């Protein structure tokens, strides 16, 4: 598979967090980060951007913009 168990678990948590970022705009990003076990909002933002190419705030903004148009 080419990745460690901890890398796989982190990526799984990131995907679940990403679902919440775009589907639950009423939940603050800091709360989502805490819910999915990231040690800080900043660590969550860095990991999210590394995995998806954009920060969580931008992912949320893009999703909200596309659902309103």
What pTM was computed for the model?
Answer: 0.82
Report pLDDT digits (tens) over 16-26. 999 999 999 99
Q: What is the CATH number of the domain that holds 48?
A: 1.10.10.60
Average pLDDT, the chain: 90
Tell me the three-class secondary structure of 47-66, residue by residue.
HHHHHHCCCHHHHHHHHHHH
Residue 9: give the domain boundaries. Answer: 5-68
Domain count for the chain, please give it.
1
Report pLDDT digits (tens) over 27-48. 999 999 999 999 999 999 999 9
Q: How many residues does the chain have?
A: 69
């Amino acid at each position: 598979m080419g990745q460690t168990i901890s890398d796989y678990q982190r990526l799984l948590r990131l995907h679940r967090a990403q679902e919440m970022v775009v589907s639950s705009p009423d939940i603050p990003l800091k709360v989502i980060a805490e819910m999915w076990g990231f040690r800080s909002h900043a660590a969550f933002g860095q990991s999210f951007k590394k995995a998806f190419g954009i920060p969580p705030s931008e992912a949320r903004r893009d999703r909200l913009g596309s659902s309103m148009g």
